[in-house]
Amino acid sequence: KQEVTQIPAALSVPEGENLVLNCSFTDSAIYNLQWFRQDPGKGLTSLLLIQSSQREQTSGRLNASLDKSSGRSTLYIAASQPGDSATYLCAGPQSGGSYIPTFGRGTSLIVHP
Amino acid sequence: GAGVSQSPRYKVAKRGQDVALRCDPISGHVSLFWYQQALGQGPEFLTYFQNEAQLDKSGLPSDRFFAERPEGSVSTLKIQRTQQEDSAVYLCASSLVGVAGVYNEQFFGPGTRLTVL
């Protein structure tokens, strides 16, 4: 069964820092990968989707990369802001026709003013 | 509407009651997923529809759970004879195309928080 590990589980930083969030899959045969943020009591908001033919995606201060050979993805957040405080989750379906994404537990991020 | 909507947002049920949770996906989205999210955990897959066809229900925890999407749009997740362990947030997501499609980015609703007393 595919398992997803997100490191660190929690992160508390001052405003302005550049951050690195990690996501790894036990089975590296990932078809694509999506990063989400989840605010307390809310649903998931899609941040970035890395398609099967891509290695990275960028949106504003966010950059996500995917290394399919190792089954690892990294989310970079540049110049963090208090509004970035949320839980960040990664998810991806496996290759070979599976459309069911497996989620990690998330990284809980707090950015202090 | 512009996004995925779910109702009710909160539901409190007494143990043994039946509940029905509704999901309105983004118009035109072929795929619809239901997930269960326990506190401090990531979402766990329950079931998947492509249009009106339920292609996978392997994640449903027991036969008390039933989902339908009769016209390929709105979906309902029904839980019969609720138990305390059913307490969780139930999330619905939709995506534009089906299996292994290029534009299969998932869009989530706000969830329904179910509390079983």
Per-residue pLDDT tens for A25-69? 887 777 788 999 999 888 999 999 988 788 999 999 999 999 988
Return d(Cα B97, Cα B32) in angstroms, integer.
Answer: 10
Question: Closest partner residue to B108 among A44, A99, A106, by Cβ?
Answer: A44
CA nearest to A99 within chain B: B99
- Tell me what pLDDT residue B83 has: 97
Question: Could you tell me which residue, A43 or A93, shows the higher pLDDT?
Answer: A43
pLDDT at A85 over 60: yes
The whole-number average pLDDT for the span A19-28 is 90
Residue B102, φ and ψ in degrees, nearest 5? -65, -45
The whole-angstrom distance between B15's CA and the closest CA on chain A is 23
Question: Closest partner residue to A97 among B6, B44, B100, by Cβ?
Answer: B100
Give the E-state strand segments of B2-116 in sequence order. Answer: 5-7, 10-13, 19-24, 31-37, 44-50, 53-56, 65-68, 75-79, 88-95, 107-108, 112-116
Q: Which among A37, A10, A16 is positioned nearest to A103, based on CA atoms?
A: A37
Average pLDDT over all residues of chain B: 92
**Percent share of chain B, pLDDT over 70:** 94
Return d(Cα A96, Cα A67) in angstroms, integer.
Answer: 17
- Tell me what pLDDT residue B1 has: 54
- Tell me what pLDDT residue B92 has: 96
pLDDT at A111 over 80: yes
A46 at interface of B, judged by CB pairs closer than 8 A: yes
**3-state DSSP assignment of residue A83:** helix
- Chain A environment of B93 (Cβ under 8 Å): 44
Return d(Cα B105, Cα B26) in angstroms, integer.
Answer: 12
- Tell me what pLDDT residue A97 has: 57
Return d(Cα A56, Cα A48) in angstroms, integer.
Answer: 9
- Tell me what pLDDT residue B105 has: 83
B56/A101 CB distance under 8 A: no
Give the E-state strand segments of chain A in sequence order. Answer: 4-7, 10-14, 19-25, 33-38, 44-50, 56-59, 62-67, 72-77, 86-93, 101-103, 107-112
A104/B4 CB distance under 8 A: no
- Tell me what pLDDT residue A33 has: 87
pLDDT tens digits for B58-85?
A: 999 999 999 999 999 999 999 999 999 9
Return d(Cα A106, Cα A37) in angstroms, integer.
Answer: 9
pLDDT at B107 over 50: yes
Are B8 and B110 in contact, with CB atoms under 8 Å apart?
A: no
The whole-number average pLDDT for the span A10-26 is 95
The whole-number average pLDDT for the span A89-108 is 82
B40/A105 CB distance under 8 A: yes
A47 at interface of B, judged by CB pairs closer than 8 A: no
Q: Are strands A56-59 and B75-79 parallel, antiparallel or unpaired?
A: unpaired
Lowest mean pLDDT among A17-26, A66-75, B56-65, B96-105: B96-105
Are A55 and A66 in contact, with CB atoms under 8 Å apart?
A: yes
The identity of residue A7, as a single letter, is I
